[in-house]
């Protein structure tokens, strides 16, 4: 018997295993009963007593917290508790705001609270805000019972501890400098007022021994996170409601031309202020705000007892109360401007004011301490964006249809490609997955920037689709159009560079179209192409269409998926099987596009396989799914085809091109392979370069 076998069969081994199991059980019990115990006297919502641990409730809150909070407030109509990602928390309806806001023993739960969470979730510089997020994500992957240990070893948390140490040194150095300044001026500390957050924290702390470095770090993070969050949502609403763009621009130009940037001009930007406050009302940073910790036992007027150490929040159900805000689910950028216009209400509805009806920045003695500085930053960013939007988007295609302005796209494509021209007849080198991708990006933005009343966004809004879903759909469509179209167009050039026969065939087609549309003898090919109509671009280039048809077949990896939203099981033909209600169905594209029975030699680039006389892909139902199929085909197929046709036609008309290394040396190699394991269209992992030079007319 070996030593290992002897040990495994011994009582010593059994005792060690028992000790490990006992330690795990003890740690779990300690974590459950001490850190995650419920507060007595408050009903629990969103948690089943059948659950042994809180894990399932935490997961449910992470994905559906908004519904749980609003539903709990409506059904219970009193204080209750929910299980958040950090454990149980008491939730108070909005009617408690006035009482809770003035209780000094309820301190800010995010600042000055020495705990494991605070110790390792801080940052001091904007660049470190993302490091903080990375650390939070890394630690969240671990079960709660292991977090007190594992954080010591995670590199993200170690970086934050290092950040904390550096920040402490900086804060202590600044405090020392201020004390020396006080002694030099023979002033009492209480008479020296410093108008910054550090001075404010010193004043609030008084004689208490608090961690000023921790407070400074958390304030810095909060200001960056919440300001950028509000600004991003304002940009979403600016895109979802384009009717406000000219109105905001007019106000900004008028005010700034008279006053410039100062406090009085901020007050005069009333529509911008109302637009931002309405965005914050509808899309708050969290539906649960005013997070507090009870430093001692507190008894409210109605007899509700808040135990010492309890964590509590106020739910923002008031933001969606129709008695306070008529049509609360509707975005109305003028809402707070109208309220400010009422007699005696001029200063009550600004973005930086708080009230029981709008707690986006908190309320009471612990309202957002960075409130005043956060507003100008957001307003200035919004102003810069609106002016940039005017220069780049709206000036291109204001209120015009793409069909009437296709010449803008052709002119853009020509000018962008002209920038690639090398000196004289020498060879230039470029990466098509960067350059062509960027050109497609420019054209996609211009296609999408027309403010039309009959576009997809307007249809969705007319159908009553929520603003959030409408924004998500439009941005998703823009993303899909840019990602897929840019990469597929680049692959076409690469594959043509590998296939001289199809390059010659496409070039002959482009030259023939240009020749048929020349207005005079000797007119340059690019000018002749610039006179084409949208119908011409859609019908005159069948060979280019075959090429990107084949490119999409090769480059389309991953799966398509759909969700059964019919509310019932759907039978799958006569198979006897069903797609369950709310289930997702996925289909691997390669099952069709890489099937040699449907497409012989499927890995070869062969655009001719899509000709009617060859009939590949036509012998099976839905034999080509490059643009989707069935009830949900790609809604941007015409735009994508037009973009790729324009870019490819101009490129082939202007340049000769061939495969090369990054230094411009011609190379001959095996056809470039596409990563079949990719989930989406993607650039090749190794750089591909083309060298090019101007064609002679």
- What's the start-to-end Cα distance of the chain, in Å? 88
CA angle 450, 453, 455 (to 5 degrees): 70
Contacting residues for 624 by C-beta, under 8 A, at least 6 apart: 549, 553, 592, 593, 610, 617
Sheet containing strand 87-92, strands side by side: 80-84, 87-92, 311-315, 288-294, 106-108
Measuring CA to CA, which residue among 522, 493, 503, 525 is closest to residue 410?
525
How far apart CA 203 and CA 478 sit, in angstroms, is: 50
Query: DSSP letters of 462-512?
Result: HTT--HHHHHHHHHHHHHHHHHHHHHHHHHHHHHHHT-HHHHHHHHHHHHH
CB-facing half-sphere around the CA of 692: CA atoms within 13 A: 24
Q: How far is CA 3 from CA 6, 17, 19, in A?
A: 5, 18, 21
Contacting residues for 481 by C-beta, under 8 A, at least 6 apart: 444, 447, 448, 636, 639, 640
The angle that helices 542-555 and 637-654 make with each other, rounded to 10 degrees, is 110
How far apart CA 398 and CA 39 sit, in angstroms, is: 58
Residue 634, annotated as binding a ligand? yes
Token pair 């000055």 is at which residue?
A: 112
Question: Tokens in use for 563?
Answer: 């969700």
Q: Which helix (H) or strand (E) holds 311?
A: strand 311-315
The angle that helices 243-259 and 371-389 make with each other, rounded to 10 degrees, is 110
Q: Which helix (H) or strand (E) holds 256?
A: helix 243-259
**Neighbouring-strand partners of residue 571:** 578
How many CB atoms within 10 Å of residue 697?
Answer: 9
Token pair 């707690």 is at which residue?
A: 359
The angle that helices 467-497 and 212-240 make with each other, rounded to 10 degrees, is 80
Q: How far is CA 243 from CA 77, 256, 453, 458, in A?
A: 39, 21, 10, 12
Phi, psi of 331 (to 5 degrees): -80, 125
Contacting residues for 103 by C-beta, under 8 A, at least 6 apart: 298
How far apart CA 358 and CA 90 sit, in angstroms, is: 20
Phi, psi of 93 (to 5 degrees): -60, 160
User: What does the DSSP 8-state code read for residue 686?
Assistant: S
Query: DSSP letters of 324-353?
Result: TSSSTTS--TTHHHHHHTSTT-TTTSSTT-
Question: Tokens in use for 10?
Answer: 């011994």
How far apart CA 417 and CA 651 sit, in angstroms, is: 7
* Annotation: binding site for heme: 634
Annotated binding-site residues read 634
């Amino acid at each position: 018997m070996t030593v290992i076998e002897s040990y495994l069969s011994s009582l010593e081994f059994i005792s060690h295993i028992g000790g490990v199991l006992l330690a795990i059980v003890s740690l779990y019990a300690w974590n459950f009963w001490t850190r995650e115990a419920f507060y007595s006297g408050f009903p629990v919502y969103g948690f089943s007593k059948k659950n042994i641990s809180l894990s399932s409730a935490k997961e449910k809150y992470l994905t559906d917290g908004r519904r749980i909070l609003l539903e709990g407030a409506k059904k219970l109509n009193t204080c209750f508790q929910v299980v958040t990602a950090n454990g149980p928390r008491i939730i108070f309806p909005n009617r408690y705001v006035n009482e809770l806001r003035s209780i000094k023993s309820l301190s800010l739960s995010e600042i000055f609270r020495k705990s494991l969470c605070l110790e390792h979730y801080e940052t001091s510089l904007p660049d470190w805000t993302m490091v903080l997020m990375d650390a939070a994500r890394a630690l969240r992957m671990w079960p709660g019972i292991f977090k007190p240990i594992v954080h010591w070893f995670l590199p993200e948390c170690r970086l934050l501890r290092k950040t904390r140490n550096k920040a402490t040194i900086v804060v202590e150095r600044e405090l020392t400098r201020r004390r020396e300044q006080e002694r030099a001026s023979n002033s009492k500390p209480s008479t020296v007022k410093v108008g910054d957050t550090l001075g404010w924290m010193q004043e609030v702390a008084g004689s208490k021994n608090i961690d000023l470095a921790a407070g400074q770090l958390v304030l810095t993070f909060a200001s960056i996170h919440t300001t950028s969050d509000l600004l991003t949502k304002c940009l979403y609403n600016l895109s979802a409601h384009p009717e406000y763009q000219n109105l905001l621009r007019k106000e900004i130009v008028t005010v700034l031309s008279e006053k410039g940037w100062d406090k009085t001009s901020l007050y005069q930007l009333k529509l911008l202020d109302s637009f931002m406050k309405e965005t914050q009302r509808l899309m708050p940073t969290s539906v649960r705000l005013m997070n507090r910790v009870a430093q001692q036992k507190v008894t409210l007027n109605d007899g509700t007892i808040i135990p010492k150490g309890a964590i509590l929040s106020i739910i923002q159900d008031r933001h969606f109360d129709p008695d306070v805000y008529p049509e609360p689910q509707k975005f109305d950028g003028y809402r707070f401007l109208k309220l400010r216009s009422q007699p005696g209400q001029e200063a009550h509805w600004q973005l930086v004011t708080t009230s029981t009806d709008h707690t986006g920045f908190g309320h009471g003695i612990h309202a957002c301490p960075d409130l005043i500085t956060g507003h100008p930053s957001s307003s200035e960013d919004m102003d810069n964006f609106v002016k940039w939007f005017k220069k780049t988007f709206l000036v291109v295609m204001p209120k015009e249809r793409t069909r009437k302005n296709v010449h803008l796209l052709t002119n853009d494509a020509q000018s962008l490609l002209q920038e690639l021209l090398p000196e004289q007849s020498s060879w230039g080198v470029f990466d098509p997955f960067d350059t062509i991708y960027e050109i497609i990006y420019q054209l996609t933005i211009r296609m999408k920037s027309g403010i039309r009343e009959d576009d997809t966004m307007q249809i969705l809004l007319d159908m009553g689709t929520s603003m959030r879903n409408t924004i998500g759909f439009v941005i998703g469509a823009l993303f899909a159009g840019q990602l897929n179209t840019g990469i597929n167009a680049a692959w076409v050039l690469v594959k043509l560079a590998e296939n001289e026969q199809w390059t010659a065939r496409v070039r002959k087609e482009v030259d023939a179209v240009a020749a048929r549309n020349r207005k005079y003898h000797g007119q340059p090919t690019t000018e002749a192409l610039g006179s084409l109509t949208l119908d011409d671009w859609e019908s005159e280039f069948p060979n280019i269409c075959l090429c990107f048809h084949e490119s999409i077949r090769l480059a389309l990896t991953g799966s398509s998926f759909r969700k059964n939203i019919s509310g019932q099981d759907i039978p799958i033909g006569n198979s006897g099987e069903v797609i369950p209600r709310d289930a997702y169905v996925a289909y691997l594209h390669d099952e069709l596009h890489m099937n040699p029975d449907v497409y012989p030699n499927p890995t070869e680039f062969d655009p001719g396989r899509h000709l009617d006389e060859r009939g590949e892909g036509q012998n099976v139902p839905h034999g080509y799914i490059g643009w989707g199929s069935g009830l949900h085909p790609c809604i941007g197929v015409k735009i994508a085809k037009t973009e790729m046709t324009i870019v490819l036609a101009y490129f082939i008309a202007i340049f000769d091109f061939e495969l090369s290394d990054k230094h411009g040396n011609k190379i001959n190699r095996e056809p470039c392979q596409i990563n079949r394991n990719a989930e989406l269209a993607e650039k090749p992992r190794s750089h591909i370069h083309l060298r090019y030079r101007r064609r002679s007319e």
